[in-house]
Amino acid sequence: MTETPRTSRNPLTLAQVEATARAAHAGQTDKAGRPYAEHLRAVAEGVRERGGDEDQIAAAWLHDAVEDDALSPQWLREAALSSRTKDIVLAVTKRAGEPPEAYAARILATPGAPLVKEADLAHNADPARLAVLDEATRMRLTEKYARMRALLGQSDAI
């Protein structure tokens, strides 16, 4: 694994990554109106519970940061993070106009990324989270998450 040119700096600790992610998403809420940091924490914990390593846990905290414009791609390139963490974050970052099949293929091709996406989908598809949404949104998201799990070869079990 190669690091960015800034590897002379100490890498960010998980606590620093968490604080960065929480600050980047401050004021942001999920579809149910809950603080977005709750989702980030749940995904990071989901990765940890599934046996993920520090790179994957760090990526879980940052998994939506670039996609949501909470942190820039330049910030990610220059951050004192392992190249593996950066690769995972970029793999799970959706791109405008990208077909789900291409998105899933990129995740599957990136070591460590499928576990992060599995934890993300598990939290997104949590029936308790979905229950507070209107029926049409709940049905649309349930189908969307099931399709992505299928593309990734993940079971329907959450």
Across the range 36-58, mean pLDDT stands at 97
pLDDT at 4: 38
pLDDT at 156: 62
The confidence band for 31, taking pLDDT boundaries of 50, 70 and 90, is confident
The confidence band for 93, taking pLDDT boundaries of 50, 70 and 90, is very high
Q: Both tokens of residue 155?
A: 């079971």
- Please check the confidence at residue 64 and state whether its pLDDT lies above 50: yes
pLDDT at 7: 44
Q: Which one, of 145, 87, 148, lies nearest residue 113 by Cα?
A: 87
- Please check the confidence at residue 8 and state whether its pLDDT lies above 80: no
- Please check the confidence at residue 62 and state whether its pLDDT lies above 80: yes
Burial of 44 (0-12, 13-18, 19+ CB in 10 A): buried
Q: Both tokens of residue 48?
A: 């940890």
